[in-house]
């Protein structure tokens, strides 16, 4: 190998390797300080795309989980209101049975009739004030409540619940005020009350079944969310044990490269010995 002083090839080689070691050390520092293996598309372009997709779907799943909880709340509100309606209709059946007694005169029968009529008004008041998110739930204004419970645009990502009308009108419980004024009316009221109780029971069955279905959907989404988070972590997050080992190696390589570069820079000085 010739001895030259204008071009220090050894120093250039050492500098090139030192630059590469410095770049790798910077990557190790970035990964350890951020906690991510993939900090930019240059680190892993395909992995970053997959990780971003998983993150987006995870956030949509979180939104759907909140939607399901809102749906459960709506069903519970509807069920509690229907429970109060059931209690009121049950009391109305007692009043109708008492009013059907033949030993009552018009004055005594009116006591039962007055309470009966007021309870009808209370049922309608409850139905018209039971709402969630601005939607009336049991007065017939909202016939179907559709909830988004997935993360895609398919029929399986939506769940619709039919809401029965529980007002006292013909489309609901079909209960009339002023009917207990006579024995015949009181007996007729008993038939209407029996049908009304079945209507309320059918509505509560829908609320309960829908709540159970929403709860099952929530459990499924919770598992899906956990698995998506784990999948994203395997792609995006840094393995600290591995990255620490790589960081230590890169530190040693930078220190060694710096030392070798210093030695390579002194090699041309050997030419001075020829001039002595």
d(CA 234, CA 150): 23
Measure the CA–CA gap between 273 and 85, rounded to whole angstroms: 110
- Confidence tier at 102 by pLDDT (50, 70, 90): confident
Q: What is the pLDDT of residues 44-93, one digit of tens each?
A: 899 999 999 999 999 999 999 999 999 999 999 999 999 999 999 999 99
pLDDT digits (tens, 9 = 90+) for 213-226: 999 999 999 999 99
pLDDT tens digits, one per residue of 141-195 = 998 999 998 888 899 999 999 899 999 999 899 999 989 988 999 999 999 999 9
- Rg of the chain taking only CA atoms, in angstroms: 39
CB proximity list for 126: less than 8 A, separation 6 or greater? 81, 84, 85, 88, 138
CA dihedral (49, 52, 54, 57) in degrees, to 10, reads -130
The class that CATH gives domain 56-236 is: mainly alpha
Nearest to 88 by CA among 59, 112, 118, 68: 118
CA 27 centroid distance within chain = 36
Terminal CA-to-CA distance of the chain, rounded, Å?
21
Q: How confident is the model at residue 1 (pLDDT cuts 50, 70, 90)?
A: low
Residue 17 has pLDDT above 90, yes or no: no
Number of Cβ within a 10 Å radius of residue 263: 12
Instruction: Report how far residue 227's alpha carbon sits from residue 47's, in angstroms, rounded to the nearest whole number.
Output: 17
């Amino acid at each position: 190998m010739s001895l030259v002083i204008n071009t220090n090839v050894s120093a250039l080689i050492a500098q090139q390797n030192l630059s590469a070691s410095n770049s790798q050390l910077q990557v190790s520092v970035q990964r350890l300080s951020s906690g991510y293996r993939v900090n930019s598309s240059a680190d892993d372009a395909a992995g970053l795309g997959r990780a971003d997709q998983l993150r987006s779907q995870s956030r949509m799943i979180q939104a759907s989980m909140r939607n399901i909880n809102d749906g459960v709340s709506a069903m519970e509100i509807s069920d509690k209101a229907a429970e109060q309606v059931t209690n009121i209709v049950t009391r109305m059946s007692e009043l109708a049975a008492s009013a059907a007694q033949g030993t009552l005169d018009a004055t005594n029968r009116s006591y039962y009739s007055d309470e009966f009529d007021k309870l009808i008004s209370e049922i309608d008041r409850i139905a018209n004030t039971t709402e969630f998110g601005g939607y009336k739930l049991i007065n017939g204004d909202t016939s179907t409540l559709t909830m988004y419970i997935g993360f895609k645009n398919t029929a399986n990502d939506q769940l619709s619940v039919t809401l029965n009308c529980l007002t006292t009108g013909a489309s609901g419980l079909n209960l009339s005020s002023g009917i207990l004024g006579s024995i015949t009316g009181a007996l007729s009221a008993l038939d209407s009350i029996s049908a009304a109780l079945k209507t309320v029971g059918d509505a509560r069955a829908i609320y309960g079944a829908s709540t159970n279905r929403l709860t099952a959907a929530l459990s499924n989404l919770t598992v899906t969310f956990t698995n998506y988070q784990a999948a994203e972590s395997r792609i995006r997050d840094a393995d600290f044990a591995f990255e620490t080992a790589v960081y230590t190696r890169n530190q040693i390589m930078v220190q060694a490269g710096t030392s070798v570069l210093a030695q390579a820079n002194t090699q041309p000085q050997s030419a001075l010995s020829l001039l002595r």
